[in-house]
Each structure stands twice: as C-alpha cells, then as structure tokens.
Chains A and B, each alone.
Chain A
Amino acid sequence: GAGVSQSPSNKVTEKGKDVELRCDPISGHTALYWYRQSLGQGLEFLIYFQGNSAPDKSGLPSDRFSAERTGGSVSTLTIQRTQQEDSAVYLCASSLVETGGAGSPLHFGNGTRLTVT
C-alpha cells in the first residue's frame, strides 16, 4: 500500500521478554519517527531518524528501548526486558523532510498495540 505499514498490529508478551516492532515508511520519505500513546495520554515522542544523520534518541524512556533504520527505509523498535508500563500503542510516522514544515506533515501508521502481561 501507499501508507505507513506497521507490524504486528497487536502483540501480547510476558514481562521480561524482548519485543521487536516493525515500521515500513512511505517510499521516498526521508524522516521516520516513533511515538507511543499510553492509555489516556497523548502521543509521546520516542526517536527520530532523518536521512543519514545520527538519530534523535532524546525521547527514549530507558536504555531498554532502541531503534534501527536500515537502508534509510524500514525501521525496527526493540524493547528489551519488557515491563508492564511499556504497554501502549506504538506509532510510526514518516515525512518527506523534517516534520512540521509546510506541506510535510507526518503520516502515521495504524500502530502496534503492545500488551505486557
């Protein structure tokens, strides 16, 4: 499809396990973002990739969280030793250039709902 694709759509895991969430951005979009939405909360910025620049990891809540973007396209968000407070919807977005610029809004995927039991 033409939109941002995320997989899996739902993931249930046991506390302490590692999980990987995948994002396929829109073809040609150079910027890729990960956000998460916990229950009753807004969208919390996690990490941002722009072209070949070093990613902005300032939003990652702990060192258990990491992300990669291979070949400037697909990205994987990894959460190690999951905790119950990691339960949230993890949203990936992409844009043509850095977000917010006129004509270059973020396009979001439908998210991965992560439940840590």
Chain B
Amino acid sequence: DQQVKQNSPSLSVQEGRISILNCDYTNSMFDYFLWYKKYPAEGPTFLISISSIKDKNEDGRFTVFLNKSAKHLSLHIVPSQPGDSAVYFCAATLSLGYGGSQGNLIFGKGTKLSVKP
C-alpha cells in the first residue's frame, strides 16, 4: 500500500513556463514533507521541505504548497529551466517535535520532469 503517491510518471514543460509536480499521501499522521531532485547516476539531493503547520514554503524559484485536508502537496518551479530536468521525489515523515522524526522517509515513485529549451 503506497503511502506517498506521485501519479504522473513524467511531465514535459517549455523553458520559462511553470512546472507543477503533484504528490498525494494517505497517512494523515505525516507532518513533514520534502522534495528531492535526482539526476541520472547521482543520489537524490534535498530541494525544499514543508511542515504541516504551514501551507506554503518558498525558496527562490521553488515553492511547495500543502493542502492537509486533501492530503496533497505540490511543487511549483517558476520559471522552469533546462537544468531542472530531473526526477523529482516527494517524501513524507512523522516529526518528533525537536527536529527529529520517526526514523525514515517514505518516498513516492518520482516524476521525471523534462524542460525543453
């Protein structure tokens, strides 16, 4: 049973436009969410995160939105650049309040983003 779902395996966007990557989760206890980016033959790298006490977190061109009632989060990239082409993983966890969590992140299957020049 997948607790974190990324239903779009791929997304193609024109350079300069907005990329929107979606993620749904089933466990209402999750309270901390992260996005990772992965290039081929490299490990995933942390991109941006959001706590369940917020509904939006922004870092430069990247914004993550959280809708707790819908158990849905999305990553917006504006403007999209060819270098953003990668696989994006959504992940969720239970935090312990002091900065820790239960121990492991639950990842989705990823969405491959292609940004065309």
Interface residue ranges, A against B (CB under 8 Å): 4, 33, 35, 40-45, 48, 50, 56, 59, 91, 93, 97-111
Contact = CB atoms under 8 A, between A and B. Distances in A.
Contacts, number: 87
B89 interface: yes
Interface of B: 4, 6, 32, 34, 36, 41-46, 49, 51, 89, 91, 93-96, 98-110
Contacts of B95: 100-102
A93 B6 CA distance: 22
Contacts of A100: 32, 34, 49, 91, 93-95, 100-102, 105
A18 B105 CA distance: 28
Given A91-B43, A105-B49, A108-B44, A99 B103 contact: yes
A101 B100 contact: yes
A25 to B, nearest CB: 12
Contacts of B4: 42
A98 B106 contact: no
Contacts of B43: 4, 91, 93, 108-111
A17 to B, nearest CB: 24
